[in-house]
Amino acid sequence: MRKITIAKGDGIGPEIMDATLKIILAAGANIEIEEIEVGEKVYLSGNTSGISEASWDVIRRNKIFLKAPITTPQGGGYKSLNVTTRKFLGLYANVRPCMSLHPYVSTKHPIMDLVIIRENEEDLYAGIEHQQTDEVVQCLKLISRPGCEKIVRYAFEYAKQQNRKKVTCFTKDNIMKQTDGLFHKVFDEIAAEYPSIENEHWIIDIGAAKMAETPEMFDVIVMPNLYGDILSDVAAQITGSVGMAGSSNIGETCAMFEAIHGSAPRRAGQNLANPSGLLQGAILMLNHIGQSEVAEKVQNAWLKTIEEGIHTYDIYKEGTSTAKVGTKEFADAVIKNLGEKPSLLKPVNFGNTAALNLPKYQRKPAQKKVLVGVDLFVHWSESNPNELAAIVQKLETAEVSLSMITNRGIKVWPNGFEETFCTDHWRCRFKPKNNAAFEKTSILNLLESALTQNIDIIKTENLYEFDGISAYSLGQGQ
Ligand code: NAD
């Protein structure tokens, strides 16, 4: 018996949660339920996070959380409970299956059945942003080896458990050779451990275009946070049934499952809402806790019900649908179909597999790290790079010289183009003369003389080699 936490949420939440629980319990889900309150009432009682300390304790104790949608009150500094939960509980994997239900839900892609697995914690979403000059602001894109290993392994383990044939990776590593390059490298390393699952990598731009045009080419797609945020909405939208999708947020110890739609307050309390999105979340939960047989039974009964044309108002269509039903009647129809399989829609086969095998990240032995130079970023409001070179060359010493200046990554000195547009944010790269060793004290000396010469350094980045390989970007055009 697996104990889980549930929250019925707001609006249509309680109705779709009751329907979902009734279905999965009838299918034989081996769960014990502990309910907490989150959402509007908690927010309006003065708690800006929408959840009490006692409820956190319950979620952390049970580790598995099935959450109905909640209403976030407008204004008043209320924080999104989803973002808070994801960050506090370290829910690093966001999983969103996107499947079309042709001909019951209109779509241009009748045979689409893919799963987007999105890294959920890092990338540009680390939220580290700074304004550095009058004209330039910066957002740090952080990609870590543990972050990549965890999400890529999750994608392959998920594919294995779900009998999926292929995992595709999307990155932009032709441009971001260090960050996206690491994600791609880790993908290749981990893919090699799963020889029975096909793997491939696409550059995100053409990959996204292919996904939008021929989604049937893809099975499981894994990607960094920002790309996944955007493309998981595109994928859900083109199935034609955003309102019927579920998602999971998975961490090392805890996981949260939900519908992707909101609390639809105008439909609340009328036995109208479609419980399918939350039911899809519950199916992901059952697979996650190793109750795949039950998950499979529920999914096939649900597909059969959709196929019989028994539809809630939101997908009801004259000609295709056979009965317009309420939330409760839809749940009863699914329960009646438990044990049945769809005949036109493809039945699922989740198998009777164990929970995913996700070992803890093991830190690798330290690499040989050698300092080989420094980039000094300078705020300078003139426009001729040759003049700036003359100014910063005054910082040179017997050991260290200026090797390059870039502006927004493009080399503007030496031998820049007059046509290149320059902002007030300049990267001045200093390297040791004659390939000599570069010491940290050289950086201090450069900063000290910049201070005395009124050169406005707004940040520095150390240049390293790891195991003899340069680990920093060159200037474009260098
Ligand atoms: P919404 O998803 O609640 O509703 C959008 C439209 O879809 C409405 O017309 C609604 O009636 C319909 N709809 C949604 N789910 C349905 C269902 N299961 N059955 C039938 N029809 C359904 O989005 P919204 O109106 O932008 O947001 C309403 C509230 O939900 C807001 O307070 C928002 O903050 C919240 N919200 C919560 C979550 C969450 O808890 N995960 C996610 C999104 C929005």
Q: How far is the CA of 268 from the centre of ligand 1 (A)?
A: 11
Cα 69 to averaged position of ligand 1 atoms, centre (Å)? 8
Distance 362 CA to ligand 1 centre (A): 40
Q: Which of 233, 263, 302, 314 to mutate to test the pocket of ligand 1 (most atoms within 8 A of CB)?
A: 263
Residue nearest to atom 12 of ligand 1 (CA): 264
Q: Does 17 sit in the ligand 1 pocket, CB within 6 Å?
A: no
Ligand 1 close to Cβ of residue 50 (< 6 A): no
Q: Decide: 335 in ligand 1 pocket, CB within 6 A.
A: no
Q: Is the CB of 258 under 6 A from ligand 1?
A: yes
Ligand 1 center to 212 CA (angstroms): 24
Which residue CA neighbors atom 20 of ligand 1 most closely? 273
What is the reported pLDDT for 240?
A: 85
Does the C-beta of 82 come closer than 6 Å to ligand 1? Answer: yes
- Tens of pLDDT along 313-334? 999 999 999 999 999 999 999 9
Higher confidence at residue 478 or residue 259?
259
* 46-69 pLDDT per residue, tens: 898 899 999 999 999 999 999 999
Higher pLDDT, 394 or 437: 394
Whether the predicted pLDDT of 350 surpasses 90: no
Q: What is the pLDDT of residue 159?
A: 94
Q: Is the pLDDT of residue 478 over 80?
A: no
Q: Is the pLDDT of residue 194 over 70?
A: yes
Measured in angstroms, how far is the CA atom of residue 190 from the centroid of ligand 1?
A: 38
Q: What is the pTM of this model?
A: 0.90
**pLDDT given for residue 354 in this prediction:** 67
Domains and CATH numbers, the chain: 1-90+242-353 (3.40.718.10), 108-239 (3.40.718.10), 369-470 (3.30.70.1570)
Q: What is the pLDDT of residue 13?
A: 97
Give 15-41 pLDDT, tens digit per residue: 999 999 999 999 999 999 999 999 999
Quote the ligand 1 centre to 278 CA distance (angstroms): 12
Query: Closest Cα to atom 31, ligand 1: which residue?
Result: 71
Q: Is residue 263 within 6 Å of ligand 1 at its C-beta?
A: yes
The alpha carbon of 263 and the centre of ligand 1 are apart by a number of angstroms equal to 4
386-426 tens-digit pLDDT: 999 999 999 999 999 999 999 999 999 999 999 999 999 99
Q: Using CA positions, which residue lies closest to atom 5 of ligand 1?
A: 264
Cβ of 243 closer than 6 Å to ligand 1, yes or no, is yes
The residues, any chain, with a CB within 8 Å of residue 433's CB and separated by 6 or more, are 398, 399, 400, 401
